[in-house]
Amino acid sequence: MRFGVVLLPVTMATLLLRRQLGFSLHILRSSLSGCRHVSKAAPQAQMDWDYDGPSMKTPVPGPRSQGLLKQLGEIQNVDAINFFCNYEESRGNYLVDVDGNRMLDVYTQISSIPIGYNHPALHKLMADPNNLSTFVNRPALGILPPGSFPDKVTESLLSVAPSGMSRVQTMACGSCSNENAYKAMFIWYRNKERGGSNPSATEEDLSSCMINQSPGCPDLSILSFMGGFHGRTLGCLATTHSKAIHKLDIPSLDWPIAPFPRLQYPLEEYTRENAAEEARCLEEVEDLIVRWRQKGRPVAGIVVEPIQAEGGDNHASPDFFKNLRNIARKHGCAFHVDEVQTGGGCTGKFWAHEYWGLDDPADIVSFSKKMLTGGYYHKDELQADKGYRIFNTWMGDPSKNLFLIEVLNVIRRENLLEEVRRSGKALLQGLYALQEQYPSLLSSARGQGTFCAVDICDDATRTKILLKARDKGVLLGGCGDRSIRFRPALIFKEYHVALFLNIFNDVLAQLK
Ligand code: PSZ
């Protein structure tokens, strides 16, 4: 099976642009042979700064990477490092390593590169002298923000605010965003309990909190889901249940953990079975909320990913989330949707929760990764009642907001959400075809937009596939016990899908 690729020649204007930016690019002139599935080329002006395909010179990690591993190993633990990168030479969908290997990146720094490497629009932003001071001077945003900050937040984050939310708190990373979102939910809950919009804490509250005791440090909880991932800081880790290695040896909190639906794929073929599974999980959620209240540790908030990512790309239906949202409302719990991995367009909508079709989808939506800055949107009532209650030194980074404005411009100008839906459809169709061809290796292909995954027969085979794909110049990631996930940038076009599927097919053929 071949998945064909067709590209167009380069225009003069884009050649000029390349020269200005000093790019040395390889131009694709030929197409792969034996077309079974032919993709339409992207408008050339959008993508000709991309490379034409993978190019492998050494095994990975190559000799230079190995030397650097040894050097850094003297300073830090390097067990998780795959190889060292040459970010100067990386372009578009291709990551180049220090040994000159050029790989099609279908994993994008754990799903965090929105519009590819070295996008010309971002270089242009960096080159503008008006932006220099924003890059050079990193402020303590919570106390001394730049004058341009309100405008820049409005132009960037607020322009894509989820339905019903006009407030946003910036933060640094995903964990930091969730950690502070949890605090906002607890503060909101306690103020609700005290009554009134400006309730004051008692002397006893103030003294007991200093020694980690109630009532100042109340026995409240956050309900999370088995298989969920919300970060590795202490509070977030109590709600993370994807892998034991993340949690081992770290003290945690006795908070309720509900089962997340384990659905059968393709979803359309198992609607009855999947609905029963979702109903079972929702019943358990309600039961846990009641039990934890009886235990004297009420659930202040529920946190959930629209698609459980680290936990294995586990999907649930819009109905599941609608019901979950209603359960939260019924029991007075805040509803926190963690879009750190799903947000920013990769599912084919800007936010994955848009697929639920709700006007009031959440009380809090956290983000990071493709949004470049971390943070969370929230309902008005989830705003902490005093300054310094939700606070840290940086509270984000204004330069990331500048980049985000440009990323959003590119997404709009190049219609990237539509492109993601198109590429995602081609990717999922291709995965369906491959799973039919290799039923002993692949199963349960699933996805929304290009946020796709497929199960592999076992973990050892998954590792083999990931390594063989890398040897052939394709970077992929694992998730869950035995899944491979696809997390390309938003500029991953249909012809990249075809290129990828052909290489993936070759890898699978070698294993069959
Ligand atoms: O192994 C790790 O620590 C990984 S691998 C992928 C992630 C973390 N994702 C981060 C993440 C996420 O996917 C969701 C849904 N919520 C929160 C986080 C935490 O974000 P960071 O890593 O920025 O703290």
Task: Summarize the confidence of residues 229-253 as an average pLDDT.
Answer: 97
Q: pLDDT at position 33, please?
A: 32
pLDDT in tens, 131-177: 999 999 999 999 999 999 999 999 999 999 999 999 999 999 999 99
pLDDT in tens, 86-99: 999 999 999 999 99
Residue 208: pLDDT above 60? yes
For residue 169, the tally of other CB atoms under 10 A from its CB is 25
Between 9 and 386, the more confident residue is: 386
CA distance 496 to 488: 10
Q: pLDDT at position 196, please?
A: 65
Between 158 and 17, the more confident residue is: 158
Give percent above pLDDT 90 in the chain. 89
Residue 27: pLDDT above 60? no
Indicate which residue of 152, 349, 369, 370 is catalytic. Answer: 369
Is residue 85 in contact with ligand 1, taking CB distance under 6 Å? no
Q: pLDDT at position 295, please?
A: 97
Find out whether 85 and 98 touch, Cβ atoms under 8 Å.
Answer: yes
Task: Summarize the confidence of residues 125-129 as an average pLDDT.
Answer: 96
Q: pLDDT at position 49, please?
A: 84
Instruction: Estimate the crossing angle of helix 12-21 against helix 120-127, to 10 degrees.
Output: 50
CA distance 496 to 72: 34
- How do beta strands 364-367 and 374-378 pair? antiparallel
Rounded to the nearest angstrom, the distance between the alpha carbon of 213 and the centre of ligand 1 is 30
Task: Summarize the confidence of residues 105-119 as an average pLDDT.
Answer: 98
How does the average pLDDT of the chain come out, rounded?
Answer: 92
Q: Please report which residue ranges of 222-381 form alpha helices under DSSP H.
A: 234-237, 244-247, 271-294, 318-330
Of 136-150, 153-167, 196-210, 355-369, which gets the smallest average pLDDT?
196-210
Q: Residue 296: which pLDDT band, with cuts at 50, 70 and 90?
A: very high
Q: Which residues contact 479 (CB under 8 A, 6 or more apart)?
A: 309, 310, 311, 312, 313, 453, 485
Q: Residue 5: which pLDDT band, with cuts at 50, 70 and 90?
A: low
Q: pLDDT at position 168, please?
A: 98
For the chain, give every domain's residue range: 12-118+416-511, 139-195+207-396
CA distance 86 to 249: 36
Q: pLDDT at position 195, please?
A: 87
Residue 352: pLDDT above 90? yes
Q: Known catalytic residue: 369? A: yes
Q: Which fold would CATH assign to domain 139-195+207-396?
A: Aspartate Aminotransferase; domain 2 (3.40.640)
Residue 25: pLDDT above 50? no
Indicate which residue of 83, 229, 335, 500 is catalytic. Answer: 229
Q: pLDDT at position 512, please?
A: 77
Task: Summarize the confidence of residues 426-438 as an average pLDDT.
Answer: 98
* CATH number, span 12-118+416-511: 3.90.1150.10
Rounded to the nearest angstrom, the distance between the alpha carbon of 369 and the centre of ligand 1 is 8
Of 42-51, 99-108, 228-237, 270-279, which gets the smallest average pLDDT?
42-51
Residue 366: pLDDT above 80? yes
- The minimum-distance atom of ligand 1 relative to the CA of 110 is 6
Both structure tokens of 3: 């998945």
Residue 371: pLDDT above 90? yes
Indicate which residue of 70, 393, 458, 463 is catalytic. Answer: 393
Task: Summarize the confidence of residues 93-122 as an average pLDDT.
Answer: 98
Q: Known catalytic residue: 393? A: yes
Is residue 217 classed as helix, strand or coil in its secondary structure?
coil
Cis peptide before 61 (omega within 30 of 0): yes
Q: pLDDT at position 198, please?
A: 59
Is residue 309 in contact with ligand 1, taking CB distance under 6 Å? yes
Residue 290: pLDDT above 90? yes
pLDDT in tens, 435-467: 999 999 999 999 999 999 999 999 999 999 999
Q: Residue 1: which pLDDT band, with cuts at 50, 70 and 90?
A: low
What is this structure's pTM? Answer: 0.93
Is residue 224 in contact with ligand 1, taking CB distance under 6 Å? no
